[in-house]
Chains A and B, each alone.
Chain A
């Protein structure tokens, strides 16, 4: 009996807790991508770098606050700086839309052209970030590190296995939960939110109802950029901020978006957690976990790890390919990329 509890604790510590935090971060990113697809009808490859840009702004402000001796006590200073990071990302998104994407909207360009243009924007933002903050990793988390660490947990429960919960993981889940709740309230209950859903469902009918496309597009960028800044900051707090990771993270974010059903906010969240759990589980070595569950003094010979962590992004890639082959509309029937 105790073996089973130990196995569960082990699983929670190495899989459930980190995958939940990672899933929440992916969900915020995927929500942005799915909203942009629903409203602007293209796959925005610049979204990862938008996350990076917002996070960079947050980090710069965090350093300023730290120098000025302003903090949040046990909480990371970055939370105080985050609103500025959000504003920076929103400003950047609106500027890019005005100077770049609007031109192609007026031309009524097709979605492929938009997607390629967004790749250009991606490189532009990536370059800008490296000019401003440099190409190096930055660690900007301060405040308390653990809510409960493995030793405290073991002493508390008398188990052999401990569950460590980092403060950043709790913050990630709480912030993501609040943001998602606010987003759904906005989409379901407000006049502008309904206009956005209407525009996403049937553009012509929305126009005939008097909904202004430029306004809907602007609101969409504001929300997507805010989500991107929050997602990037939470990810950076939880791990470290690596400017180079934001190209790679596009893969799990796109996988989550497509798996959930493109243009479907609920689907994006669902997809994000499925991708996160798959990625963590496939790269986790189940040896010890199985040893607890097997007979006394027995343990598998190998690590029982499907993939080395170096290949974790392959998981998203496989999910992406399988979904596109088997159910291109995703879990919740969404649009199909043409």
Chain B
């Protein structure tokens, strides 16, 4: 990815508070159009909170966020989905008492009766064949890996420009982790931009164009994904300066 590419997301000095606790303390970064960008950092670094602030689940205490050329000030979460921002939250979240198909259609909720929805149903089912086989099954009865695939597919159903993925490989078997990573590359190839949070999978970091390292609610390091290796990461996690 070239440095000149236009940024689809620009985050400036973002702060987020939970009551008296400051979870994100002046985070700045940008995501270039068509890139895969990773946020990494140890537990409690503020990665999930940053993502929630981007999708509007938690209010911003300060700073500015620009997405697709416009500020996100005062835009509700559903408004952000409408603008092309989709979020796969932490922890394989699906609607357990609805079928796989209903989950996918809820992902396309804002598109109403757009005939493209049916096309996209086929598209995500091609991408994740297991979902096609499980179409009428209740999402709560899927395996963990299947639920994660459904969670990703649900987000794709809104045809996002930018996909936020919070630890999509957490708790999955190595094979499944590889599959998910493969899909992330596929999603980017289909034209979407991906902002990824991964803390364990070095492979995920290696396939990113840019990696930002967060610590105690602030960005402490930025580098190209291919320049990252395990020892450098470990050092950063532990808080050594480079």
Do B97 and A201 touch across chains, with their CB atoms under 8 A apart?
yes
Partner among A191, A195, A205, A207 whose Cβ is within 8 Å of the Cβ of B56: A207
Give the contacting residue for A191; candidates B76, B97, B109; CB below 8 A. Answer: B109
Chain B proximity mask over A174-198: 1 for CB below 8 Å, otherwise 0: 0000000000000000010011011
Q: Does B57 contact A (CB under 8 A)?
A: yes
The reply on A12 being an interface residue by CB < 8 A is: no
Task: Report whether over half of chain A's contact residues are helix, strand or loop; otherwise say mixed.
Answer: helix
Is the beta-carbon distance between A194 and B98 smaller than 8 angstroms? yes
- Residue A211, interface by CB 8 Å: yes
Measured between beta carbons, the chain A residues less than 8 angstroms from B87 are: 208
Residue pair A207, B77 in contact (C-beta under 8 Å): yes
Q: A208-B55, A208-B86, A209-B109 are in contact. Are A197 and B97 (CB under 8 A)?
A: yes
Number of contact residues on B: which range applies? Answer: 20 to 34
Given A191-B109, A194-B102, check contact A210 B158 (CB 8 Å). yes
Is B106's beta carbon under 8 Å from chain A?
yes
Bound Cα distance A205, B95 (Å):
8
The docked-state distance in angstroms from the alpha carbon of A202 to that of B81 is 17
A204 close to B109 (CB less than 8 A) = no
CA distance A151 to B105 in the complex (A): 58
Does A110 count as interface, using CB distance less than 8 angstroms? no
Contact at B89–A208, with CB atoms within 8 Å?
Answer: yes
Complex Cα distance, B78 from A204, in Å, reads 11
Counting CB contacts under 8 A, is A212 at the interface?
yes
How long is the Cα–Cα vector from A263 to B168 in the complex, in angstroms? Answer: 30
B142 to chain A, nearest CB (A): 15
Query: Residues of B contacting A207 with CB < 8 Å?
Result: 55-57, 77-78
Contact A205 B93 (CB under 8 A): yes
* Closest partner residue, chain A, to B158 (CB atom): A210
Can you offer 21 A-B residue contacts whose CB atoms are under 8 A?
Answer: A194-B98, A195-B106, A197-B95, A197-B98, A198-B98, A201-B95, A201-B96, A201-B98, A204-B57, A205-B89, A206-B106, A207-B55, A207-B56, A207-B78, A209-B81, A209-B158, A210-B82, A210-B109, A210-B110, A212-B76, A213-B76
Residues of A participating in the B interface, judged by any CB pair closer than 8 Å: 191, 194-195, 197-198, 201-202, 204-213
Given A194-B105, A208-B81, A211-B109, 13 other A-B residues pairs in contact with their CB atoms under 8 A:
A191-B109, A197-B98, A198-B95, A201-B97, A204-B89, A204-B93, A205-B89, A205-B94, A208-B86, A208-B155, A209-B158, A210-B82, A211-B106
